[in-house]
Chains A and B, each alone.
Chain A
Amino acid sequence: MIASKKIVLIGHFGVGKTSLIRRFVENTFSEDYKVTIGVHISKKTLELSEDQSVSFIIWDLEGQDDIKKTRVSYLLGTHAFIYVFDLSRPSTFENLKSEINYLHENYSKIPLKVVGNKVDLVNKEYLTQYNDEFDDLVDLFVSAKNGSRVESLFSKLAKELI
């Protein structure tokens, strides 16, 4: 049985949402930065067991500095959110708490994964330095560049959605 699920990736400009999807869907990575305009849709089916698969319909939304500016109609019918920020750029996570609160308040029933991307660019000391800001909000530190924990992010999400 295949269950189709709409996943929406949100976050600031240039945090690596598209790269994360490309790593998950195509297992590729490119250093070229091409800004996403509007929305881009991808699809990947993940097999959980012999008789259970999840087909992710992934909506890659254009980056917004403020989550409130995101087009609400794009978020309708979402089965899960992935909020992505760039670990190497503090400006992309300085308002993390308020952004996550906004999602909890407006989409309380929808599962959310908060992901710090570009973990390959920072070290442990750096992460410790910002520990207070990440608090308990962050689910995973990933790297679209080397693929670290990308598959695990989507696998966890798939299991939660079934």
Chain B
Amino acid sequence: MNQDEKLSIIKDILLTDEREFTSSIEKKIKSLEKTINEKEKLSGKVDPIIDDKLNNFIKEIPKTLGPTITKTLKEEIKNSQDAVVEALFPIIGKMIKRYIQHEMKLLSDKINTQVNNTFSFKGIFRKAKSKASGVNESDLILQELSNTKIEQVIIIEKGSGIVLAEFSKNITTDEDMVAGMLTAIKSFVEDAFKKESQNLQHIDYDLYHIHLQNFSSFYIAVVISGAYNIIYQDKLEDKILDFTSKQKVSDILNNKTLINQKLEDFFNDDSI
């Protein structure tokens, strides 16, 4: 046995552990390479960690991103109201349609009940009233069912459209603007028909009816919600005439506070 062979034997004896260690590291590196390079194996290891992180992130969204999202949404809605209306219109339209269908069914049931009571005192009285006034019995039933309310009364100076007095229950519109627009519409319509003796008598606006009654230097606009038919119109005209004559409105037109008070006292009650 020469020197080299002896040295080789000594090397084998001394480096056995290191070789085994190197071999095990090589195996581990190969396994890691496989895990990284093969998608399925990598996802098997990484996915649970990501899922865990994602779940935590989702849970934290209301706390971390909630206020920012709400603020952004609010701003977006505010800045693009037309677009929001366009988007919501079909949905809200359906909701309203369904609501109206429901309400119409209720109304229909109520009318049926009223009609079935034909031979009650109220029914006979209604029939007589219908014949005397020329208003359909169905209209009278509808008026009984609907809650006609006086929402706003405005005394307006003719020509200028300046508000002389006003009484309002719930309406929050600017009475000066309403009075101005009513006067402009009145002027236009009355001008267009070119008949000085004729006046615009009422305007329908959305859910409201605006009854207009003329006097020499002013006119009174009464905003009404609910049913507005010829009988109600007739009674309202009488009530307004009653108010102007009893309260001597023409004499106190310069005292806005006083007329405002009188308007409230007189029109606060919906009965006419």
Does A71 contact B191, Cβ atoms closer than 8 Å? yes
Which listed segment binds B: A16-24, A46-54, A74-82, A95-103? A74-82
The stretch from A37-45, A116-124, A132-140 touching chain B is A37-45
CB-based nearest A residue for B163: A4
For the complex formed, measure the closest distance between the CB of A96 and the CB atoms of chain B, giving whole angstroms: 26
Knowing A6-B160, A57-B161, the reply to whether A73 touches B177 (Cβ < 8 A) is no
Q: Does A59 contact B (CB under 8 A)?
A: yes
Q: B177 and A43: CB pair below 8 A?
A: yes
Tell me which residues across on chain A come within 8 A of B162, comparing CB atoms.
4-6, 57, 77
Evaluate contact between A77 and B158: CB separation under 8 angstroms. yes
Measured between beta carbons, the chain B residues less than 8 angstroms from A4 are 162-163, 176
Interface residues on B, range: 10 to 19
Q: Are B184 and A55 in contact (CB under 8 A)?
A: no
Q: Which of B159, B177, B180, B191: most chain A CB closer than 10 A?
A: B180
- Between A38, A41, A76, the greatest number of chain B beta carbons within 10 A of the residue's beta carbon is seen for A41
Contact with A along B172-190 (1 / 0, CB 8 A): 0010110011001001101
Those of A56-108 within 8 Å (CB) of chain B = 57, 59, 71-74, 76-79
Residues on B with C-beta less than 8 A from A77 are 157-162
A-B contact count (CB 8 A): 54
**Which residue of chain B is the closest to A43 with respect to CB atoms?**
B176
Q: Which of B163, B174, B180 contacts A59 (CB 8 A)?
A: B180
Chain B hits for A59, CB < 8 A: 180, 184
Question: Residues 119-158 of chain A: 1 if any B CB is under 8 Å from the residue's CB, otherwise 0?
Answer: 0000000000000000000000000000000000000000
Contacts of A43 in B (CB 8 A): 174, 176-177, 180
Let me know if A76 and B160 touch, CB within 8 A: yes
User: In the complex, what residues of A have CB within 8 A of residue B191's CB?
Assistant: 71-73
Interface residues of B, Cβ cutoff 8 Å to A: 157-163, 174, 176-177, 180-181, 184, 187-188, 190-191
Binding site for B on A (CB under 8 A): 4-6, 38-39, 41-43, 55, 57, 59, 71-74, 76-79
Query: Which 5 A-B pairs rank lowest in CB-CB distance, beginning with the nearest?
Result: A77-B160, A77-B159, A76-B159, A73-B187, A41-B180
